[in-house]
Amino acid sequence: MLKVAAYIAEKGFLPKELVQNEVQWFYTNLGIDDMYFMLEPVDTIANHIMALYGAKIFAFTKNESVLDINLERETDSSAVYIHTSRPGVSTTTGPQVERRIDAKYLDAANAATGAFRLETYRSLGTVSSSMATQLRCYFVEKCNFVKPDPTPEEATDIRLVADKAFLEKATEHTLEVYENIMRQVLQRTGPVIELFEVEGSREKRIVIGYRQQSTRHFFSAMSDLYHYYDLFSTRKYVEQFANGVTIMSLYLNPIPNSKAPPIESSIFQIMKEASLIFCLPTTPLQTFFQTGKLSVQEAIYGYVAWIFSQHFLNRLGGEYATLTNLLDGANSAHVEVLTKIKKRLRSDTFTREYILEIIKLYPDLVKALYINFAMTHYVGQKESSIRPSLSYQRIRTDHVLTDAQLLALIKKTVSNAHEQMVFESFLTFNQHVLKTNFYQPTKVALSFRLDPSFLPAIEYPLKPYGLFLVVGAEFRGFHVRFADVARGGIRMVRSRNAEAYSINLRSLFDENHALASAQHHKNKELPEGGSKGTILLDLASQDKSRVAFEKYVDAMLDLLIAGQTPGIKEKIVDRYGKPEILFFGPDEGTADFMDWASQHARQRGASFWKAFTTGKSQSLGGIPHDIYGMTTRSVHQYVLGTLKKLNIKEEDCTKMQTGGPDGDLCSNEIKISKDKTVGIVDGSGVLYDPVGIDRVELTRLATERKMINHFDVKKLSPQGFRVLYVEEVQTIIESNAAAEFEAIWAEAERTGVPKAIISDLLSSAVVKLSDELQTTTLWDNKALRKIVLEEALPKLLQKQLGLDTILSRVPESYTRAIFGAYLASRFIYKYGTSPSQFAFFTFMNPYFARIGQ
């Protein structure tokens, strides 16, 4: 403290007679946690005291009684934030410190690559005797685990997987609590939430454990949640563990003189709603929740109904139906026009942004529609309950409207037909939800079993048997089936950019419906009908396919397995009234997840876990289709059938095969076929023998799953050959890359421009020159053209076919492009982006000399 006072006095910004008083107040009266003074150097503490004094002077000149303090310091391994904090109030403007900490440190926590722990405290005192402003301090530190890479046996021992600083400060009671929660997290998919009393006070401690990277913005969203119930925190902790577990601890108190329900009631509501926050920590309706206009349940309901509206709002109208009847469905031109009109009507009339704008105009309608939803699906209080939950009390005290009354209220409230259609789609959603996990105590994503009867026949003439909607923090997804017993794959839908995401989103359900319908027809000979599931990853979650799949499966199981564990998985309202079983299979992006899904269903107690997924490992009872050639055998029957009809013996038939003996389908085709295979093209080259490729050698490659570059050429007839063009292509790629590197390095040395910029300039120059060269008279010079193309094209290709044959087979536009790109790249790489006016003449001289010009 003395060093800090000396530092401030030396700087001279504070009057000398006030230095000691300001330093003393900062250290003792303000009530900042001791950890701050342990972590921060003298100059940082002094600067913060001077900043605080300056803020008080500024507030005095503005005649303000409240300070606005925002101090921060960030390094690679730690961060400190100090800012003004009103108890129990979420800030929607300004620095948004907690959201920043979420995004920068907590959301990306990964025990293997780096994780940060957090401690935050509210100051016990005020910034001065004349101002009631309190501060909140946040301390972020990079974790230093005892065992950074624990074995499975070590992973459940908190003293081995915890951060060293945490172990130094934690009490035996805290270690016991955390270890118990940590072990539960390792056994579950979702969060573990527990409540503890703080002896001698009304303060409550909520401890939440969950897997790292299984949610986003959760820390800041929990603050919004307890603020909604007029609670504030004195201290909060987020601890990371080397086994991939995160544990958050919140110490909560009621705001003095608040009219809110007692903390003894609201704390249980927070525990119930924490699982909702975990599923969807942030939504576009978050500000309505932060400002108290909507509860967390109402805001998340509004978000889900918004998603439903995006996909199912009936936007075609009666005019489209009339037009459909007038046009000929068998006429392809008419069908194409109808399809384009349908896409335009569904995407342009009601964009997701437009629907959201409408929803935000009428939060009171969202409230009324939520009550309608809740009255059906909220499970009533058990007789053994000590007191009704706050949400149950709200439902019972609010006036509940019938569907007809809700329709009348919607018409009375909104301003136009579009707004009416949006909120009528909310009511459609309510009417067709048969069961949901919305009110399950623990969950990782929200799932809804829908009655598909709302789907308009004009758009979906083939009505699904069952329809599920699943919404998670990283994705949205559907599952459609056309029979009670049905099987089909689960497809992961990724998007390269924002435009691709918008296209994928608009077509998600239509594609899912079409895929399920196609699967239903494929399964015509099987006892199982067809189904399909889709998972559309949010644009910011393209790397979260595994997380999204696990949440999708777990949320679906919530609706398939009756809950029997109070406080974890309880019984839900089931308007469907019959048991359901779904069967999943691998599809794009999910083939590696089938083992997990089967085992997770087993862990959840599903009686059907063995049959829950196809495509799983043999050790789990799966039949690997690639090993046993299931697809190949099916297709091969068509070949045999065709040959039989034409009276041709398979042994006499010659075959050219695209795809080598290393692949699933083609290796099995080689094993089961008896034809005379004369040619194979794969990733390594071309194998050809007009008398038939040696079947024994070919079978060896198929068994070992090797490309034709491993074929023993001694087994070829005199007329046979093998062309391995991969090595030459690799040489060309390496040569181009080396030339570009030298050009970038030379240009950077010459100009001082950053190499990344040089790379773009070189590329632009090559493209521009290539386009110009393709249209100049140089192309018309046949002798020059021949020399350039001989250099540019792979030598093996020319050796086997000859240049003239290549030119006769390849379109001129393509050979022009080869000509231009080859000359342009070599010239730019040699002379740079700013060559002299004579450079190109010098570059072309050797070519003209070779053709005698």
pLDDT on residue 604: 92
Which stretch of 183-197, 276-290, 380-394, 501-515 has the lowest confidence by average pLDDT? 380-394
Q: What is the pLDDT of residues 435-468, one digit of tens each?
A: 999 999 899 999 999 999 999 887 888 899 999 9
pLDDT on residue 384: 38
Max distance between CA atoms of the chain, in angstroms, equals 112
Find where tokens 């409550």 sit. Answer: 204
Q: What is the pLDDT of residues 192-205, one digit of tens each?
A: 999 999 888 889 99
Mean pLDDT of all residues in 295-321? 86
Mean pLDDT of all residues in 390-410? 76
Instruction: Report the distance separating Cα 560 and Cα 1, nearest Å.
Output: 63
pLDDT at 382 over 60: no
Using alpha carbons, select from 515, 509, 484 the residue that is nearest to residue 582.
Answer: 484
pLDDT at 111 over 80: no
pLDDT on residue 95: 60
pLDDT on residue 461: 85
Instruction: Report the distance separating Cα 678 and Cα 722, nearest Å.
Output: 12
Rounded (10°) angle between helices 332-348 and 498-522: 130
DSSP 367-420: HHHHHHHHHHHSPPPPTT-SS--HHHHHHHHSPPPPHHHHHHHHHHH-SSHHHH
Q: Which domains does the chain have, with CATH numbers?
A: 65-282 (no CATH), 437-623 (3.40.50.10860), 628-720 (3.40.50.720), 727-850 (no CATH)
Mean pLDDT of all residues in 265-285? 92
Instruction: Report the distance separating Cα 545 and Cα 555, nearest Å.
Output: 15
Instruction: Report the distance separating Cα 534 and Cα 474, nearest Å.
Output: 13
Q: What is the pLDDT of residues 619-661, one digit of tens each?
A: 787 776 667 777 788 889 989 999 999 999 999 999 999 888 9
pLDDT at 733 over 50: yes
**Per-residue tokens: 601:** 């269903």
Find where tokens 């069967």 sit. Answer: 583
Which stretch of 387-391, 409-413, 668-672 has the lowest confidence by average pLDDT? 387-391
How does DSSP classify residue 55?
H
Q: Classify 687 as helix, strand or coil.
A: strand
CA dihedral 663, 666, 672, 674 (to 10 degrees): -140
More confident residue, 490 or 334: 490
Q: What is the pLDDT of residues 551-560, one digit of tens each?
A: 999 999 999 9
Looking at the annotation, which residues are catalytic? 532
The identity of residue 614, as a single letter, is: T
Mean pLDDT of all residues in 738-766? 88
pLDDT on residue 717: 94
pLDDT at 505 over 90: yes
Instruction: Report the distance separating Cα 288 and Cα 274, nearest Å.
Output: 17
pLDDT at 104 over 80: yes
pLDDT at 170 over 70: yes
The identity of residue 82, as a single letter, is: I
Find where tokens 């539960």 sit. Answer: 184
pLDDT at 836 over 90: no
Q: What is the pLDDT of residues 818-829, one digit of tens each?
A: 898 899 999 999
Mean pLDDT of all residues in 732-754? 88
662: left (phi over 0), alpha (psi -120 to 50) or beta: alpha
Q: What is the pLDDT of residues 313-335, one digit of tens each?
A: 866 666 676 777 777 767 777 77
Instruction: Report the distance separating Cα 546 and Cα 592, nearest Å.
Output: 9
- List beta partners, residue 774: none
pLDDT on residue 651: 93
CB 828 within 8 Å of CB 772: no
Model confidence band, residue 499 (pLDDT cutoffs 50, 70, 90): very high
Q: Classify 500 as helix, strand or coil.
A: helix
Q: Classify 58 as helix, strand or coil.
A: helix
Model confidence band, residue 387 (pLDDT cutoffs 50, 70, 90): very low
How does DSSP classify residue 163?
B
Rounded (10°) angle between helices 263-279 and 296-312: 30
- List beta partners, residue 245: 211
How does DSSP classify residue 261?
P
DSSP 313-381: ---SHHHHHHHHHHS-TT-HHHHHHHHHHHHHHHHHSS-HHHHHHHHHH-HHHHHHHHHHHHHHHSPPP
Supply the mean pLDDT for the chain: 87
